[in-house]
Amino acid sequence: MHSKIYIILFCFIPYIHANAQELLTTEKAMALALEHNYGIKIAKNTIEVAQNNKGLLNSGYLPSLTGNAGASIDRQDAEGQLANGDVRTAEGAETRRYNASINLNYTLFDGLGRLYNYKRLKEQYQLSELEARQTIENTLLQLFTIYYSVAQLSDNKAILEQAIAISKERLTRSKYQFDYGQNTKLDVLNAEVDINNDSITLINNKQQLKLTKRDLNVVLGNTLPSNYDIDKDIEFLIQLNKDELLEKTKANNVILRQAEKSIGISKFNIKTNKAQLLPTIGLVGSYGWNESTNNSPLAFVIQNTNSGISGGLNLTWNLFDGGATITRVKNAQITLENQKLQQEQLKIDIERNFNNAWDDYQNKLTIYRVQENNIVTSQNNFDRTEEKFKLGQTTSIEFRQAQLNLLNAELSKNQAKYQAKVAELEVLRLSGELLNIDI
């Protein structure tokens, strides 16, 4: 007897492993998104580009150093008359020339243009960080919206399967009652129709669940196994304080922070353009070597070599460029003014968005609590109706209606629960706290 049990268990173990589902928690989903989501990867690469741009090598503070070298060969026939009247000729006289030099150029003063440009590039780097943070926040909100959709559909699947089991039990009871003449064939047919309807609803739910899981896998960079389950336990951050979050929104909202950085960049653009109205002073220096050889009998010097260092200062001042620089300064000032106006508009819009999101969160949370109470009422109503149905004290239509009431209450509760959680995450995103809170 024991050996048979062992054999059955041994044969059943591979089936258990084959159907075991990996549990995807919110923490693991976040980690996978941060590592594998392509939008986040692109945002991180953009930060690297901005970091390279703000480095010393791109600042304009370093000198430029160039090297030059050359060589030439001349062959000429020449004829010359000396002072004493003698005539000399040279056929195929060859002259070789060689040169090499190193040249240094360094800007000592450019109206502080490169200083302002260097500071502007630092502001641009910080703006790129904020843009990457916005991408991460939006991606995580997208991730959890899909994640909780999968959770809701998974819960719905279990509820619908239970509803089919109840409908099948009802069909079996209706057949027994029909066989014993306690009801009509119509009750049996109604039970079969209800099973078919429940089955169609379950099939559609399974299909939607499959599609939504694929959407989740796309957000996570296609890193999920083919068979996985969602952690459906959620907790609400009831301790959230609206006034504190509103202050954090004004201080930390990523869109407002980007507007501040854009204003800072525009201020440096104005200073950089104004710097072009001032002169530029540069330092130049070079070290050169030259050598020439001449085998012509007419040449006084057969070989000549020289080398040396030279240096100097130069000043360049664009006294008038047709007003182009002045126009750029005026346009940059107008751009700055527009950005300040946009910032004030953003403050109004984002405060409104926060208040709307907060009210939406509170509303959905209240609906969820009401639905929890509704479940208790619907469950009690179904249990009593089921008892009466088994005793033949109520009709199959009344039983079906009680079943549908319970089913709809359970589905509505699931929807309210996950919608409330997503609404909570939207509040956190607007306040800049999404990356600082344990989901």
In this structure, is residue 8 part of a structural domain? no
Q: What is the pLDDT of residue 297?
A: 57
Structure tokens at 178: 């029909």
In this structure, is residue 6 part of a structural domain? no
Q: What is the DSSP string of 90-148?
A: EEEEEEEEEEEEEEEEEEEESTTHHHHHHHHHHHHHHHHHHHHHHHHHHHHHHHHHHHH
Q: What is the mean pLDDT of the chain?
A: 89
pLDDT band at 11 (very low <50, low <70, confident <90, very high): very low
More confident residue, 115 or 2: 115
In this structure, is residue 14 part of a structural domain? no
Q: What is the DSSP string of 159-201?
A: HHHHHHHHHHHHHHHHHHHHHTTSS-HHHHHHHHHHHHHHHHH
Q: Is the same domain home to 304 and 409?
A: no
Q: Which of the residue ranges 16-20, 216-220, 313-317 would you say has the lowest mean pLDDT?
A: 16-20
- Please state the pTM of the whole predicted model: 0.85
Over the stretch 328-340, which tens digit does the pLDDT of each residue have? 999 999 999 999 9
In this structure, is residue 3 part of a structural domain? no
Over the stretch 410-421, which tens digit does the pLDDT of each residue have? 999 999 999 999
In this structure, is residue 215 part of a structural domain? yes
Over the stretch 204-214, which tens digit does the pLDDT of each residue have? 999 999 999 99
388 C-beta neighbours (distance < 10 Å), count: 15
Which residue intervals of 232-323 are DSSP H helices? 242-252, 254-275
Give residues with Cβ within 8 angstroms of 142, minimum separation 6: 219
Q: Is the same domain home to 286 and 356?
A: no
Over the stretch 38-92, which tens digit does the pLDDT of each residue have? 999 999 999 999 999 999 899 889 999 999 999 988 877 666 666 676 666 766 6
Q: Is the same domain home to 177 and 295?
A: no
Q: Is the same domain home to 381 and 266?
A: yes
Over the stretch 63-75, which tens digit does the pLDDT of each residue have? 999 999 999 888 7
Structural domain count, the chain: 2
- Average pLDDT estimate for 247-257: 96
Q: What is the pLDDT of residue 9?
A: 37
Over the stretch 348-369, which tens digit does the pLDDT of each residue have? 999 999 999 999 999 999 999 9
| Residues 197, 243: Cα–Cα separation, whole Å | 49
Whether the Cβ atoms of residue 96 and residue 293 lie closer than 8 Å to each other: yes
pLDDT band at 296 (very low <50, low <70, confident <90, very high): low
Q: What is the CATH number of the domain that holds 193?
A: 1.20.1600.10
In this structure, is residue 214 part of a structural domain? yes
Q: Is the same domain home to 263 and 328?
A: yes
User: For residue 21, is pLDDT > 80?
Assistant: no
Nearest one of 213, 237, 235 to 24, comparing CA atoms = 213
Q: Is the same domain home to 221 and 307?
A: no
Q: What is the pLDDT of residue 281?
A: 95
Q: Is the same domain home to 355 and 399?
A: yes
Torsion, CA 263, CA 266, CA 268, CA 270, rounded to 10 = -140
In this structure, is residue 13 part of a structural domain? no
| Residues 411, 14: Cα–Cα separation, whole Å | 34
Label residue 310 left, alpha or beta by phi (over 0 means left) and psi (-120 to 50 means alpha).
beta
Q: Is the same domain home to 184 and 284?
A: no
Q: Is the same domain home to 94 and 236?
A: no
Tell me which residue range forms the domain holding 91.
64-109+280-316
Q: Is the same domain home to 222 and 136?
A: yes
Look up residue 71 and give its amino acid.
A
User: For residue 4, is pLDDT > 60?
Assistant: no
313 C-beta neighbours (distance < 10 Å), count: 9
Q: Is the same domain home to 195 and 293?
A: no
Q: Is the same domain home to 139 and 74?
A: no
- Average pLDDT estimate for 370-397: 92
SS3 301: coil
User: For residue 174, is pLDDT > 90?
Assistant: no
Domain-ending residue, one of 316, 335, 368: 316
In this structure, is residue 78 part of a structural domain? yes
